[in-house]
Structure 1
Amino acid sequence: MMRILFALCLACTPAFASEDIPDQYPASALYSKPVEVIPHVWSAIGATAPPTYENNGHNNNLSFIVTGDGVIVINGGAAYSLAEALHAEIRAITDQPVKLIINENGQGHAMLGNAYWAEQGVPILAHEDAAHHFEEEGAQTLQAHQRVLREKADGTTLVGPTETFEDTRVIEMGDFTIEVLHLGPAHGPGDTQVWLPDQSLVIAGDMAFHERMPPIFVDTIALDWIETWENEFEALNATYVIPGHGHPTNMAQVRRYTRDYLVYLRAKVGEHLDNDGDLADAYYVDQSPYAHLDTFEELATRNAGRVYEQMEFE
């Protein structure tokens, strides 16, 4: 039954996220109206574009679980206004109070909306590495968002998590067992996955991509990401995956466009290194099998250059 509901949910949403559609929900600061992925688990799917004034910085997924004894929200959002808009949607769905915010990492789209939730007196949980990253980089991130969002960033201030965890935090709330996991190094410091074992659903955060190209940041080690995927994330054997960006899907799809992409890119860069290629040409190794992904133009060359720098001295 849950598989049928999942399929129906996807059928009633747009066929794919698109970086070409500036706003799918003009009545709200949210990019799209939350959809019920499986019973009691909802997600407002963000744009697969970079943050823009038009999409209000909502370019990641803001999810929440209506447990029966309160609501747990995954991601504070990229601005005060986004958190406030998400809360309005939650209130339209349930009268259960929001009892916890979980930040999926230390990036702006996960934490900059924390200020709103802190005003509501809601505890905010993040991995200790994500909290440290936000403490170090938050001011710069906020300035970047303010330049893009202008007046839409009003009210957005730096508020970090109120509590942190190291490896795993298990929460029993209402009808749900919720495992908050840090499976290992992946996309960025303190990457966090929210695993619902009884429902076989993982809110994967930036561990998993499929509609937009995975970004490789300065602190992203592609080989570590692959190893965490193969040794830990794959072992969840999730039926349903809500990725950090893009529509809910399954493990095969995110494997194809995340783990397989990283393996492919390392192989191409490895061939380039074997042929004594330099960094200038490494930017242009063939990534054409992934050229249809959103943000390809913004990220492909940068990704290749960073993987080259990582592999040069392996």
Structure 2
Amino acid sequence: MKLGLLAWLCLAAVGAGAQNLPVPPFASTPDMARLDYDLKPRQIAPGTWVIEGEVADFSRANGCNIINTGFIVTGDGVVVINTGPSRLYGEQQRRAIERITREPVRRVIALNLHPDYFFGHQAWADTPTQALAGSVAGMQAEGRAYADNLYRLCGDWMKGTESTPAREALDPKSLPQTLQVGSHRLELRRLEGHTADDLVLIDHTTGVLFAGGLVFAERVPTTPHAQFARWTVSLDQLAQWHAAGQFRTVVPSHGPVHEGTAGIRQTRDWLQWLTAQMQGSAERGLDLAEVLRQPAPERFARWAAQPAELHRSLTQWYPRYEERALAGTPAGR
């Protein structure tokens, strides 16, 4: 009974005790009257910049800017990661990059199919835009529905926005792929679980991981396209890469940039709790209304988008657990 992101957006109109992370104040001051996102790139490593979204849920007050986008200035051009929730964001992102560097942008990479990863692509019509083939297919299939719902959620911030899927599909069989771009050695790898095709980028030169939607920090994970067991496996893989020294700094698509594996552990903790909660509640015969009334554990209570994001997950996924419990078969996770 997978509803997909369309219904998810409509609902919006490595273990317990994971380390808490400081959440800095939202650096930008969006101006709704002028439709100005007030994007403020922050350098986190040599040549590496992040434009941080608010650690929050979609709202008109924040311009629906809740995603971290980034760019790497390599000495031989710029690589952009994610382009935000609207045409306006993409245009303002482009101007923000131009204030930092005069190097040309060589490529734009979207890490998955969700709209705030690629709705700014309109501003990059003269630049190669890339994503995994499965993500491109998802963008093409669901883009119009995403736009309809984001217009309802975000209002005037979406003016002139049209779904613009990535134009170049990365073949999963070609990954992992290492790119030497200027002075930076970048590696693209495919994982899965948050969606069916999750792209991550590791900058081996600076030790920065752009983790996409696989990692959330201090925010309840979104799960409209989730494959829970595979997501957990991917988180374990990220933890192994960290232990092997392949990265130090994590840029989640949602939540504060941080050092180490705290975001990985937080995300894993949430997924394990959520699936166990649904499984146990279904086995006890609770209905959805009863499950929705149950609060999340205290360790999650202060996370952004709580309880709204929990309620979206339960509304989408709990009926599947109920069906499996009634049939006497284990719930798929």
TM-score range, shorter chain: 0.7 to 0.9
- Which residue does the alignment assign to 1:268? 277
Partner of 1:192: 199
Query: Match for residue 127 of structure 1?
Result: 132
Aligned twin of 2:50: 43
Stretch moving more, 91-100 or 148-157: 148-157
Partner residue of 2:286? 277
**Letter paired with 1:224:** R
- 2-structure distance, mates of 1:259, 1:28: 36
Q: Match of 1:222, as an amino acid?
A: F
Query: Which residue pairs with 1:83 in the alignment?
Result: 90
Deviations 1:260-294 (A, max 9, x none): 11112222333323434344433344522211101
1:22 deviates by 10
Name the CA distance, whole Å, in 1 between partners of 2:212 and 2:158. 23
For residue 137 of structure 1, the aligned residue among 132, 136, 142 is 142
Question: Could you report, residue by residue, the CA deviation over 1:187-233 in whole angstroms, capped at 9, with x for unpaired residues?
Answer: 1232211111232210011000012110121x312222112222x22
Question: Is 2:188 the counterpart of 1:180?
Answer: yes
Q: Determine if the alignment matches structure 1 residue 164 to structure 2 residue 164.
A: no
2:59·2:154 contact (CA, 8 Å) conserved in 1?
A: yes
**TM-score, with normalisation over the residues of structure 1?**
0.85
Which of 249, 252, 256 is 2:258 aligned to?
A: 249
Check the 8 A contact 1:76/1:110 in 2, yes or no: yes
Q: What is the correspondence of 1:205-224 to structure 2 with a 5 Å cutoff? A: 205-217=212-224, 219-224=225-230
> Are 2:249 and 1:240 aligned?
yes
Q: In structure 2, give the amino acid aligned to 1:178.
A: L
Whole-Å Cα distance in 2 between the matches of residues 41 and 210 of structure 1?
20
Larger CA deviation: 158-167 vs 172-181: 158-167
Structure 2 segments unaligned to the other structure (5+ residues): 1-21, 325-329
Quick check: 1:209–1:243 contact (8 Å CA) kept in 2?
A: yes
Contact 1:213 1:296 in 2 (8 A): yes
Question: In structure 2, what is the equivalent of residue 226 of structure 1?
Answer: 232
Counting only pairs closer than 5 Å after superposition, residues 48-59 of structure 1 correspond to structure 2 as 48-59=55-66
User: Does the aligned pair in 2 maintain the 1:44–1:63 contact within 8 Å?
Assistant: yes
Q: Which runs of 5+ in 1 are unaligned?
A: 1-14
Alignment of structure 1 residues 3-18 onto 2, 5 Å: 16=23
Distance 1:37 1:25, change over 3 A: farther
User: Which protein, 1 or 2, shows the higher relative CO under an 8 Å CA cutoff with sep ≥ 6?
Assistant: 2
TM-score by length of 2: 0.81
Post-superposition offset of 1:162? 1.5
Cα distance in 1 between the residues matched to 2:113 and 2:77: 25
Q: Percent identity?
A: 24
SS of the equivalent of 1:72 reads strand
- Asked if structure 1 preserves the Cα contact closer than 8 Å seen for 2:196 and 2:227, the reply is no
